[in-house]
Amino acid sequence: MTLDLSPVVSALLGNSVARPAGEGAISGHAAGEPFDKLITRRIDEVFPKRTFRQFEVLNEVLQANPEAETARERVGLLGPPALQPLLKRGMGPMRDWSPTNPFEEKQDETADVVVLPSESLDLHTGPIHLVDAKTYQEERRGRPPNIISALKLAHMCKDMIDSDNFGSHDISYLSVAWVLENGRMRITDSTAVALFQEEPGDLYINWSAGLQVQFHPQQCPQAFAGSAEDWCRAYLPNFVDSVKNRIVTMRSDYVRVFEPYV
């Protein structure tokens, strides 16, 4: 079941945070970072005692299971096979983790916030709700933001099909629009969308942006009515077709033009 973020969306409207120090335009990570704590706090108010930043839930799970000492054992604590790659760090960091060497936040994590279905830290009992926030300045909305790696998404779908487990998790995106007023960034609009309700065959994969799926959450029709299994089986043909088209382009633009000189 998809996480109902509508109370969070309502609670965010009208909130403001201080503009980060420094001159010039506010964009990218610098624009989103001031909202991180606010968004997490609002989600925690709606889902208390089960809301974590992604790095926090890793630390909590590993702290609660000291008997898991190897990287493989620790990854095994992170839920079913399709969920593990979305949450884990590299095998080296997973091996080296300790209570005195905990994980810290990283910019490239799958989600900003992880909401558990209960207060239990058993990630095998789903669905685990992954929530990623996307922010943009209302006057300067440009190209769609990076949502998630298309390859990571393909592996997730493959793992869900292979394990016949389509209820381990869901992924939502919380979009926040803001305006700059008197040195503060005030939220003017907010939208929450579920990845599994977006038409998988229409997802745009930008190869020039590191193979990222890109879309504006506030423009998503949320028209897909099938199951998570239906979504996975519809996404994979889209991904494979995109790869095949990219191969043709690479051969044409990067191979054939230079082959006569090889």
pLDDT tens readout for residues 69-88? 999 999 999 999 999 999 99
Give residue 81's pLDDT. 97
Task: Tell me the sheet residues that pair with 176.
Answer: 135, 190
**What are the residue ranges spanned by the domains of the chain?**
6-246
Peptide bond into 7 cis (omega under 30): no
Which bin fits 146, alpha (ψ -120 to 50), beta or left (φ > 0)? Answer: beta
Give residue 65's pLDDT. 97
Q: How far is CA 214 from CA 28, 151, 219, 247, 258, in A?
A: 14, 13, 12, 20, 32
Cβ neighbours of 182 (radius 10 Å): 7
* pTM for this entry: 0.94
Cβ 126 vs Cβ 141: under 8 Å: no
Give residue 140's pLDDT. 78
Give residue 80's pLDDT. 97
pLDDT tens readout for residues 99-129? 999 999 998 899 999 999 999 999 999 899 9
Report the half-sphere exposure of 105 (CA within 13 A, side-chain side).
11
pLDDT tens readout for residues 43-74? 999 999 999 999 999 999 999 999 999 999 99
CATH 3.40.600.10 fits 6-246, yes or no: yes
Q: Report the percent of the chain where pLDDT is more than 90.
A: 86
pLDDT tops 80 at residue 1: no
- The whole-chain average pLDDT of the chain stands at 94
Give residue 139's pLDDT. 82
The band of 142, judged by pLDDT with boundaries at 50, 70 and 90, is confident
Taking the CA atoms of residue 88, residue 4, residue 221 and residue 237 in that order, the dihedral angle to the nearest 10 degrees is 30
**Structural element, H or E, at residue 251:** none
Give residue 28's pLDDT. 62
Give residue 67's pLDDT. 97
pLDDT tops 90 at residue 32: no
